[in-house]
Structure 1
Amino acid sequence: MTAKPQQQNRRNIKWVEGLRGITSALVIATHLARALDYHLFWPADEKDGTPRLLQLPFLRIPFQGRIGVPIFAFLTGFVCAYKPLKLAYQQGNTPASLMAIARSAFRRPPRLMFPAVIATICSFILSCFGAYTAANRCDSFWVRFDAPDTKPFAQNVRRLFRALLATWTSTENVYDRHQWAMRPLLVGAFQVYIVLAATIGMRFKYRILVHLLLMSYWWLNVGHLTETFGSNLALGTLLAELSQHRPTQNFISNHQRTLTFIVAPILLLVGGYIGSYPHENENYAKWSLDLMHWLVAEDKEGSRGSLLVPKGSHPGRRCTSFFIHCVAVSLFLSHSLQKLLSHRLLLWLGHHSFAVYLVHGSILRTVGMWIVYGISGQPWTPAGFNEDGTPKEQHNFLHPKSRGHKLVAIVVFTACTYTAAWAWMKWVDTACARATQWLEKRVFEDEEEERKESLAEKGFHHVQTANGNGHALLRPDESERKEPPP
């Protein structure tokens, strides 16, 4: 049965928000694993050892890292493209579509930068009061690396301003290293806007060809993080395009059972197995070693690469990106999966996802580490020299109090994170949204009077129509003419 136009206009895209909510939860799970049980990134604790439950394929995906940022990149491509394409497809209004692109491009930087700056300042304040002492001295290298070390106040202030700038230049922010993805996501959004503006007047088949070529380009490009951002951004734009194409949606509706119960599960199973590729120590388990030989094609002569993992690329990120592609296509094809992701709990999580991303790092390095290692960071022996003058080999890092303390820390950290995210959205994000909206109103011409004032500044003025109906027309100022009108 063919989908009706009215049904097309009411297409469910709430699943996008639900997917965003799941992604924020996956980011938390990944960072907890990094901080408290790094061996979950391996296929086993030791070579040929018995793997734990969360080290097995599929089950390891939420905890092994690499998954959150690629999903955010895909969602950026989809969301940035959806509204302009909807205006172009359903309303046939290309000028309105281009205006939507312009407004979105204007809103994007402040909507990312304002909250990120506030989160960095909050972390700076915590650093000034020594809140990261336990994190600086714990035995988790990842936590120590993420936590800013103690500095005198003047140096701390200078470091703050460098961090605020470096977040958007070199992606280095010592107060919140999780903001490293902000700049690539911002640049990626503008890549989407450029593609939309350049292709909005093309015929459908040629626009699809452009998206496919971009996906191929980013996939074959072995530059840093190209598979994480470029290919997923292009996939999001492609699916946003197809979601507006009525023949494609009619085909999906007419074959929904096959797509939901056969195609989508196959994609998820194949993608999930490949996406389970370990972060390191692939030779610790047979299944991961087989994946390495198959995908990386590593032999005595070195890596030859493959279609999924080109030579010179990062195997783990390539495999995760392939998994994200499979998940995205499965969601696009299956209305049942879309409905599942449209649950109100997932929508709530999705609404608070950006706030979770911004606040969870500081809470983990403070409250979480306080519970596991203690607030004082004592006893602590700083690195230096032994009594005989020889240098000490390493710090005497703090060790977790117990496994029970870790479990309590996970529960308390999660509760504090989502409580802080709720408060952030209620006050901080609302204020940032209002500031962005105020800027947008000042910059863009929304009302008729504002357009008239703008044209008047360019040398136009109001005149009455010849029939005296009172409607104002805009004509060039005659005093500005250098030649008589034709």
Structure 2
Amino acid sequence: MSARPNQRNIKWVEGLRGITSVLVIVTHISRALDFPLFWPADSPDASPRLLQLPYLRIPWQGRIGVPIFAFLTGFVCSYKPLKLAYQQGNAPAALKSVARSAFRRPPRLVLPALIATFISFVMSCLGAYKASNHCDSFWVRFDAPDPLPFNENVQRLFRTSLTTWTNTENLFDRHQWAMRPLLIGAFQVYIVLAATIGMRFKYRMLVHVLLILYWLMNVNALTETFGAMLALGTLLAELAQHRPTQNFITSHQRLLNFVVVPLIMLFGGFIGSYPAEHEDWRSWSQTLHNILIDPAGDGSRGSLIVPKGTDIQRRTSAFFIMCTAVSLFLSPLFQKLLSHRLLIWLGHHSFAVYLVHGTILRTVGIWIVYGITGEPWEPAGKNEDGTPREQEWLHPKGRPHKMVAILVFTALTYTAAWAWMRWVDTACARATQWLEKKVFEDDEGGEGRAGLAEKGYGQGAVGNGAPQRPLLDGERTAPPP
């Protein structure tokens, strides 16, 4: 039975987004409360814990959430315009869809991010980050804004509201560092769509493949995290519309579901397990290092997957995400699993989770583990005898407190995300919709009266904007036939 592209299930995209939001939470929990999960073992002589083993370590070690969001950005931003362009044969409608999407994207990202930043600013003014500033977790201290007098804090708020979108620095919520690259990435997708919308299918595919190769050969920062993932999303959105490709997937489901996809996932998952530090502590991670990072043994070159001069951890994680994306695309079974209504609900709330979880973790989560007061704490200085006194940080109360903190933090995060989507995101969507109606012409009437009037062609006006004179007796408005 052949598959029609417009009947192909794409709900899996929202389900993948939901899983990604969960991965963001668990990796930040591990960063805050159990950083050795990023290593292959707690020490050179210690046996690895279960969550430090290959494959099982991937959700906790991080580096995969943002690349998945970038891939989904490329897929979602291009799917509708491509469907209009060559499935329905309406290139003008596709270009108009690109224009409207490009207009909506900035306010739909900027407005919620500003509100989340303001909430964190209020918490900072109330001293809610005191425990985070004094705890022994370097990652938590780095993420928490330092205490400042109110006037300086207000100035920091205005600076941060700008720098989030200029150099990715947000001192009130450092997790927003990805907002600017994702916004720029969406416009990269729009430009590619506008430039290739009239091309034949095979040449558009060639463009997407060349873009992926370009970004993977580029050794600059984050090219594998954003550029390659965005291009891969657009490529798969193309293939999702291509009837021969979908017919092939439908007719080879067993082979793809039970042979090809598992092999791809196993290969990509092993490479994606490469640890953040101390790869020499375990033989499997040292083997990966010898094959991928330093095959010559003298640091003179890298490999095809991890070229010399690239970010090793991001490259290995990006390779895993690319394998995962291709596997999901090829497997109707995986797509069906990801289309579960719970995962779709999580996906619907994923952006809200991304915006609120950091503030909740650095306040309520840290309060439970370290105490709400952030005391007793004394800054580094000198002892009475003049000798230097090293900084003593607050230590966790114990493992039970960590477990309670994880449960409370997770429940609060998704409760706050639900409330955010119901009120805050709805208000931002309405504001964006109002702006869109103001800026764009009416879809159904062609160019409306307001647009014609702006150009001097409104009612009672001629092309140059001058009033139209009354017609004389017998004068025609048009030449005779």
1:138 matched to 2:135? The reply is yes
1:460 matched to 2:457? The reply is yes
Which residue, 161, 164, 167 being the options, matches 1:164?
A: 161
Q: Which residue of 2 aligns with 1:381?
A: 378
1:89 matched to 2:76? The reply is no
Q: CA RMSD in A?
A: 1.7
- Report Cα offsets for 1:383-441 as digits up to 9, x if no partner: 22222334333x21000001000000000000000000000000000000000000000
Which residue, 458, 463, 468 being the options, matches 1:476?
A: 463
- Contact 1:26 1:68 (8 Å CA) reproduced: yes
TM-aligned CA deviation for residue 442 of structure 1: 0.5
Q: Which residue of 2 aligns with 1:469?
A: none
CA distance in 2, matches of 1:379, 1:461: 73
3-state SS of paired residue (1:377)? coil
1:399 matched to 2:356? The reply is no
Task: Quickly say closer, same or farther: Cα 1:92–1:475, change in 2 above 3 A.
Answer: farther
Q: Which residue of 2 aligns with 1:10?
A: 7
1:368 matched to 2:376? The reply is no
Question: Which consecutive unaligned segments of at least 5 residues does structure 2 have?
Answer: 469-477
CA distance in 2, matches of 1:363, 1:220: 39
Q: Which residue of 2 aligns with 1:204?
A: 201
- Report Cα offsets for 1:249-298 as digits up to 9, x if no partner: 11111111111111111111101111001011110100000000000125
Letter of the 2:41 counterpart: A
- Contact 2:5 2:242 (8 Å CA) reproduced: no
CA distance in 2, matches of 1:90, 1:346: 29
Question: Which consecutive unaligned segments of at least 5 residues does structure 1 have?
Answer: 464-473
- Contact 2:295 2:303 (8 Å CA) reproduced: no
TM-aligned CA deviation for residue 313 of structure 1: 0.6
CA distance in 1, matches of 2:66, 2:253: 30
Moved more, 210-219 or 258-267: 258-267
1:214 matched to 2:201? The reply is no
3-state SS of paired residue (2:54)? coil
1:192 matched to 2:189? The reply is yes
Letter of the 2:5 counterpart: Q
- Report Cα offsets for 1:27-69 as digits up to 9, x if no partner: 0000000000000000011114210000000000000010100
TM alignment of 1:300-315, pairs within 5 A:
300-315=297-312
Which residue, 130, 138, 149 being the options, matches 1:152?
A: 149
- Contact 1:179 1:358 (8 Å CA) reproduced: yes
Letter of the 1:443 counterpart: V
Moved more, 73-82 or 311-320: 311-320
CA distance in 2, matches of 1:85, 1:156: 46
TM-aligned CA deviation for residue 479 of structure 1: 4.3
% identical aligned pairs? 71
TM alignment of 1:339-354, pairs within 5 A:
339-354=336-351
Q: Which residue of 2 aligns with 1:260?
A: 257
Q: Which residue of 2 aligns with 1:282?
A: 279
Which residue, 100, 103, 106 being the options, matches 2:103?
A: 106
Letter of the 1:108 counterpart: R
TM-aligned CA deviation for residue 301 of structure 1: 2.1
Letter of the 2:22 counterpart: A
For these two proteins, the number of residue pairs brought into alignment is 469
Q: Which residue of 1 aligns with 2:70?
A: 73
Which residue, 39, 44, 47 being the options, matches 1:47?
A: 44
Letter of the 2:231 counterpart: A
Which residue, 401, 413, 416 being the options, matches 1:417?
A: 413
Report the TM-score when normalising by structure 2. Answer: 0.95
CA distance in 1, matches of 2:90, 2:306: 41
Report the TM-score when normalising by structure 1. Answer: 0.94
TM-aligned CA deviation for residue 457 of structure 1: 2.0
